[in-house]
Amino acid sequence: MTTRSVRPKLLHTLPSFFRRLNSAAPSSISAVAAFDTAAPDPKQDPITRTDSCDRAINVDDSDKIFSTVSTTKLIRSSMILHMVAVESMVDFGMWVLNSKLMGSPLAKRIVFGAIERSFYDHFCAGKDLMEVGGTVKELWDSGLGAMLDYGLEHATDNEDCDRNLEHFIRTAESVNMHPSSSVSFIVLKITAICPPSLLKRVSDLLRWEYKDNSLHLPWKLKTLPVFADSSPLYHTPRRPAPLTREEESDLNSAHERLTKLCIKCIEANVPLLIDAEDTSIQPAIDYLSYSAATEYRKNDGDPLIFNTVQAYLRDSKERLIVAKRSADEMGVSLGFKLVRGAYLSSERQLAASLEVRSPIHDTIQQTHACYNNCAAFMLEEICNGSGSVVLATHNVESGKLAASKAMDLGLDKDSHNLQFGQLYGMADTLSFGLRNAGFRVSKYLPFGPVEQIMPYLLRRAEENRGLLSTSSLDRLLMRYESSFDHLSLFESHWKSINGMILESH
């Protein structure tokens, strides 16, 4: 086995290496007036842009960035991120999880035990609210907030939904047990409180109503627009049958569950962050989120509901603008969470199977440009006095662009209306860089029993290819600090890990 480790000389060249690793293309952040999701303007001077953005946040000074993180934690995190980056290891893990082996209780215990002590520990905040408390405090002590995500999704029936709701209610009730303001959001996936089969039926009917406004939906509540002219409607090729009585009653129950959670969140004075899922059910998710937003706001008038927009979708910017403008006209207090989107392969597969154009941007550069344009739009809205946004991204370039734009606009960095978010266990460089620059930053903390969190962990593993651009930044910075401060102690350990990784490529 060859053993190679990264030499100090190479480590000093890291800043330029990071810039190459970071796949975000330069994008025109101010070009938001038109619905322009085209590739970035190549005429823009990237050096001027990068210089001003680099001044907004510093992600290169590892000593400063990780000053509040213990060395033991850095080493542990670094090892896990190295393992996740080895594709053969991720493929092997996926194979084991999908194999017949998992039918054996003993094998299952061993596999889940191993996952729990490694990936789960790294990416999740704990099995229950007690364990989460420690993680929230640790984050808060290092200047970061917490988005509490009881990792439930895809309920099968009403009983399942009711059980899930209890967990969300308890999570909202737990907010006051944590240091004041340390919990920035309660997270909800609508599929945990409304079965996906019903969300699909509702989405089909909403799409058909958009195509044919003579269709009357008797169950429809006051809401905001969930489509724009550019929204694809291919999921619904035929006029769907109306909801049956039972379906209407189930939809009503889902509304009631969401209402109960909204009331709990108002009592706990914490906003509710609603995740986006896949496009076959997203119209119903948006419909439920927006109808809750038209009814509820926090007691201080700030938005209670933050709905998520996925910038990898070609219609996302137009939908964001239509919903935002409509909320303003109706006096609805509403926040948005902006993400790129995590259901890339299933969206593309579905579109290919229906022989239609994928709803996702053709190139990653277009997704980057769309994300940055949507972020710029929201920052300008905030500057003009309305709106709240959570910029949920690990992309360093997007973080820098948004921070720099916020500073140019003179936005208050500590305002509730502008927050950044990264997943727990990922992109710590960006989180701490933004925090050090004075912005509000939270980590998205999934928690719950290991079996329940598996879909989330599998999404993180699947995302690994894309993560090479940003998590490698963390991996290298972590190694940088650890290897300098503790070289004598850990040199042999690092050498063997590096050797294994370099050999596997």
User: Which residues of the shown chain bind ligand FAD in the complex (CB under 6 A)?
Assistant: 23-24, 275-276, 308, 310, 312, 339-344, 360-361, 363-364, 367, 392-395, 421-423, 444, 463, 466, 469-470
* Nearer CB in complex with ligand FAD: 187/254: 187
What is d(CA 337, CA 311) in angstroms, rounded to the nearest whole number?
10
Nearer to ligand FAD, 275 or 481 (CB): 275
Nearer to ligand FAD, 223 or 367 (CB): 367
247: left (phi over 0), alpha (psi -120 to 50) or beta: alpha
Say which amino acid occupies 256. Answer: E
Q: How far is CA 439 from CA 14, 57, 146, 415, 467, in A?
A: 25, 10, 14, 8, 23
The amino acid present at 274, given as its one-letter code, is I
CB of 363 to ligand FAD, least distance (A): 6
Using an 8 Å Cβ cutoff, are 394 and 430 in contact?
yes
CA distance 85 to 90: 8
Between 5 and 419, name the residue whose CB sits nearer to ligand FAD. 419
Instruction: For ligand FAD, give the closer residue by CB, 275 or 381.
Output: 275
Q: Determine contact, residues 155/193, Cβ cutoff 8 Å.
A: yes
CB 54 → ligand FAD: shortest distance, Å?
18
Q: Please, are residues 397 and 368 in contact by the beta-carbon 8 Å criterion?
A: yes
**CA–CA distance, 92 with 94 (Å, rounded to integer):** 5
What is the smallest separation between the CB atom of 488 and ligand FAD, expressed in angstroms? 35
DSSP of 284-349: HHHHHHHHHHHH-B-TTSSBSEEEEEETTBTTHHHHHHHHHHHHHHHT---EEEEE--S-HHHHHH
Q: Which residues partner with 273 through β-bridges? A: 187, 306
Q: Where are the beta strands (DSSP E) in 173-242?
A: 183-188
Instruction: Give the nearer residue to ligand FAD in terms of CB position, either 478 or 497.
Output: 478
Comparison of 366 and 482: residue with beta carbon closer to ligand FAD: 366
DSSP secondary structure code for residue 116 in this structure: I
- What six digits make up the tokens of 291? 């109808």
Q: Which is nearer to ligand FAD, 224 or 342 (CB)?
A: 342
| 458-470 CB burial, b ≥16 within 10 A, e <16 | eebbbbbebbbbb
Alpha-carbon span 39 to 491, nearest angstrom: 44
Beta bridge partners of 306: 273, 335
Considering beta carbons, is residue 291 or 307 the nearer one to ligand FAD? 307
Residue 336: φ, ψ to 5°: -125, 145
Q: In this complex, which beta carbon is closest to ligand FAD, that of residue 209 or of residue 474? A: 474
Copy the structure tokens of residue 287.
């419909």
Least distance from ligand FAD to the Cβ atom of residue 48, Å: 22
- What is the nearest approach in angstroms of ligand FAD to the Cβ of residue 367? 3
Residue 318 to residue 373: CA distance in whole angstroms? 11
In the block, tokens 């053993």 appear at 3
Residue 208 CB, shortest distance to ligand FAD, in Å, is 25
* β-strands 418-423, 335-339 pairing: unpaired
Measured between alpha carbons, how far is residue 440 from residues 161, 183, 231, 478 in Å? 33, 12, 33, 23
Q: Name the minimum Å distance from CB 80 to ligand FAD.
A: 17
Minimum CB–partner distance for residue 92 and ligand FAD (Å)? 21
- Residue closer to ligand FAD, measured from CB, 153 or 381: 153
Q: Name the residue nearer to ligand FAD (CB basis): 379 or 497.
A: 379
Residue for token pair 């972020």 = 375
The tally of CA atoms less than 13 A away on the side-chain side of residue 39 is 7
**Least distance in angstroms from the C-beta of 424 to ligand FAD:** 9
Query: Residue of minimal CB distance from ligand FAD?
Result: 466
Min. distance of Cβ 274 from ligand FAD in angstroms?
8
Using the minimum distance from each CB to ligand FAD, give the nearer residue, 196 or 421: 421
Sign of CA dihedral 256, 200, 321, 147: positive
